[in-house]
A and B are shown apart, each in its own frame.
Chain A
Amino acid sequence: MRLPIVFGCFAAAVTLTAQADYAGVGRDATPAEVAAWDIDVRPDFLGLPPGSGSVEDGEELWIEKCSSCHGDFGDANHVFPPLIGNTTTEDIETGHVASLKKGGAVRTTIAKVSTVSTLWDFINRAMPWNAPKSLSTDQVYAILAYLLNLAEIVPNDYVLSNENIAEVQQRMPNRNGMTRDHGMWTIDGKPDTHNTACMKNCKKEATILSSLPDYARGANGDLSKQNREYGPVRGVPTPEPGAAAPAAAATDDKTPGPPTAILAANGCTGCHGMDQKVVGPAFSHVAEKYHGQADIVSRLSGRIRNGGSGSWGSIPMPPQPQLTDAEIQTIVEWLAAGAKH
């Protein structure tokens, strides 16, 4: 009996020393610091700042800041999956989106998300794509009001605010569509599959239910270039199919040359695709437009350095002060030569 007590005291003393306090390490946060960073909004609207915004104002902001990626009606899928669609007035009544049961339908954000706070929080913290946290509080309310109107959750003349957002929650189409009845939140949760460790003659035969279609063999590039050229195995040569080649070829078979490396390192590819319009025009489209023009180098150099808008729509391209003159010259010469990649 005695020994454990003695040992216990010793352990307590050690713990005390270890936890004494971390003198000189860290400091208390000021209220202003906490306010600057604590921007999250919970489903019970803890953290939601007061403010308001109308559907009408939201539409204007949407076209200016959001539509290039998400489409005028939140339905585009050329950059991100669609935000709006596949919910019904009946879903707004039941609070569970019927198209999620059926399958086949595109799962839009508004069909999946259960809480309106989530949309407010994410627009506020992460949007727009190339300028996160640049929206004012009222702009966030307005953009969200426009989205909710597109989904027919609020009427055309609605003004969304911290006062009425809880009522909107009661009309979210998938507010009852979430379950936490599963064993994957706690470490000792109950699994939902129950395989057994059979060792011999566990079934009569092994039937292949699915195999890789021939057209997909080369979809991920030449596999002979994705394995070692010695050792117990080799990669199977898989020529890429002509149609699906560009993306795979760009990433798989070439070490990016200097221009493409500069574009990737400076975030240019976040808005410009090689051959595809994203937020801004594709590099190949820029090359095509200015092909053969005498002043291409000076014009494009200025555009990259100072930013601008108008040539390709109203979304402004931000200035790029971080690029060196040599880098800009490399990019422009590459564009002038046809933006080959």
Chain B
Amino acid sequence: MTSKKIRPGRLLKAPESFLDPQFIAEVKQHGFDETRRAFLRKSFLAASAALTAAPLGEALAAPAQGDPDILNLPPWTTTLGKPVASRPYGSPAKYEMNLVRRESPGLASVSQASVAFTPLQGMFGIITASGLHYERHHQGWEEIDPSRHRLMINGLVKRPRVYTMDDLMRLPSVSRIHFLECGANSAMEWGNVAVPTVQYTHGMLSGSEFTGVLLSTLLEDAGFDRKRGQYLLAEGADGSSMTRTLPMERVLDDCLVAYGMNGEMLRPENGYPLRLVAPGIQGVSWVKWLRRLEVGDKPWNAKDETSQYADLMPDGMQRQYATIQEAKSVITSPSGGQKLIDKGFYNVTGLAWTGRGKVKRVDVSFDGGINWHAARLEQPVLPKALTRFNIDWVWNGAPAILQSRVIDDTGFVQPTYTQLREVRGTRSVYHNNAIQSWKVAESGEVSNVQV
């Protein structure tokens, strides 16, 4: 409806951005004749009026001589700065405090068994800042003394083994970038729109570089039974001692026992000092504060494999062990609860991922799915990792509906809500990977809708 494909790099500079792209096209075609000069004069008057009225425009209303932020040197240009190591760990600028993890009211009565969502609406690239990695705990988080932490391997193994952190950090290590998504991400949206922003619709999602030891290395060291050992149980050291069953095929392929995240040790909220990394698999299986691995010949039916994390289908059956996170994408900016500052050019950006391999392509629609345009994929595009996409858009002030649609390297195309509900109904809770729609109103306000 408002889609307009333009060449990358074309930018409408402030304060001229009130000009309609149509007008610019006409000037290009007919030259800057008297008719169009007259139009432009009127537009300037209208724009100045709008700028006076709207506080957002104040910065754009430069006085005749120029921008005071250029003409009058600011304090940071005219004073001595702070010394090194005045903040030995470092923290974000004080202007960035709005982007923090947040709970969604009403989801849980007790914050020890709740979720804090990642502020995807303001983040860049494919790595989530460690302090903003989403949190989901079942019995609160602990800060484990790493010198007293142990990892045990038992079950169908020749030698049950115990490793300290000293041991694990001596073993051959790998570093891998992967996404981590809770199986219940977007759960609140199965039946209808329920929450305002991408932080709450999709914020149980993070991307990190994890460092640790391949599980295959440890299982071989314990001499596991390759024939009968078709399943692996992972167990946490926290109060709930969370357990999950994993398929041995996945475990041997690319699962890690990780201690590092984004170049430093894991954060306590994310499993310090040791967690399971199960690429492509839902977050609940990435057991935090990992204390034990057991090799077995049957699955365990743990609490979070029967009473939770089982997807209720319309026939009343629950899909058990729905483990792989299927392909999904979302536009993170502009997104729900935001307002575009003006008409004109925007870099529409978002994230795509798939638990089955790599993102092959992402398409974006500006008209609610009638027409689609291939987006640019930022490099690198890694298996089972977040992939960042961008696409140019000139907003002409008319209402629009923005959507993104990922296609993964198996050829799978992210489903619409209608397609997903046809198969799974609306009560599944888990594994909602439908196409997300953001409506842009004439005011520039963006809101969450479903089409």
With both beta carbons as reference points, the residue of chain B lying nearest to A111 in the complex is identified as B307
B139 touches A42 (CB 8 A): no
B110 at the interface (CB under 8 A from A): yes
- Measured CA separation A247–B337 after assembly (Å): 19
Q: Which of B160, B195, B321, B415 is in CB contact (< 8 Å) with A185?
A: B321
A29-B161, A212-B196, A235-B338 known; A37+B291 contact, CB < 8 A: yes
B102 touches A221 (CB 8 A): yes
Give the contact stretch, choosing among A20-28, A57-65, A287-295, A299-307. A20-28
- Measured CA separation A189–B357 after assembly (Å): 12
With both beta carbons as reference points, the residue of chain A lying nearest to B334 in the complex is identified as A233
Q: Which of A192, A206, A216, A225 is in CB contact (< 8 Å) with B196?
A: A216
B177-195 interface code vs A (CB 8 A; 1 in, 0 out) = 0000000000000001111
B122 at the interface (CB under 8 A from A): yes
Q: Which residues of A contact B326 (CB under 8 A)?
A: 184, 191
B396 at the interface (CB under 8 A from A): no
Q: Which residues of A contact B368 (CB under 8 A)?
A: 205-206, 208
Q: Which of A100, A185, A196, A197 is in CB contact (< 8 Å) with B318?
A: A100
B121 touches A226 (CB 8 A): yes
Q: Which of A107, A180, A217 is in CB contact (< 8 Å) with B312?
A: A107
Main secondary structure on A side of the interface with B: loop
Give the contact stretch, choosing among B26-34, B93-101, B128-136. B93-101
B448 touches A212 (CB 8 A): yes
- Measured CA separation A126–B235 after assembly (Å): 12
A228-B99, A232-B334 known; A220+B196 contact, CB < 8 A: yes
- Measured CA separation A311–B338 after assembly (Å): 48
B306 touches A178 (CB 8 A): yes
A33-B162, A44-B298 known; A132+B102 contact, CB < 8 A: no
| A-B CB contacts (within 8 Å), total count | 346
A203 at the interface (CB under 8 A from B): yes
Q: Which residues of B contact A43 (CB under 8 A)?
A: 298, 300-301
A40 at the interface (CB under 8 A from B): yes
A68 at the interface (CB under 8 A from B): no
A29-B152, A118-B306 known; A236+B339 contact, CB < 8 A: yes
Q: Which residues of A contact B311 (CB under 8 A)?
A: 182
Chain B: number of interface residues, binned into ranges:
35 or more
Q: How far is the CB of B199 from chain A (nearest CB, A)?
A: 7
- Measured CA separation A97–B315 after assembly (Å): 11
Q: Which of A28, A38, A42, A220 is in CB contact (< 8 Å) with B102?
A: A220
- Measured CA separation A192–B415 after assembly (Å): 10
A269-B112, A278-B109 known; A179+B239 contact, CB < 8 A: no
With both beta carbons as reference points, the residue of chain B lying nearest to A192 in the complex is identified as B423
- Measured CA separation A248–B119 after assembly (Å): 16
A226 touches B160 (CB 8 A): no
Q: List 9 A-B contacts (CB under 8 A).
A: A40-B302, A118-B303, A125-B240, A132-B241, A174-B318, A220-B195, A232-B341, A233-B446, A238-B337
Q: Which residues of A contact B (CB under 8 A)?
A: 18-19, 21-22, 24-29, 33-34, 37-40, 42-44, 78-80, 96-98, 100-103, 107, 109, 112-115, 117-118, 121-122, 125-126, 129, 132-133, 174, 177-189, 191-212, 216-217, 219-221, 223, 225-236, 238, 244, 247-248, 251-252, 264, 267, 269-270, 273, 276, 278
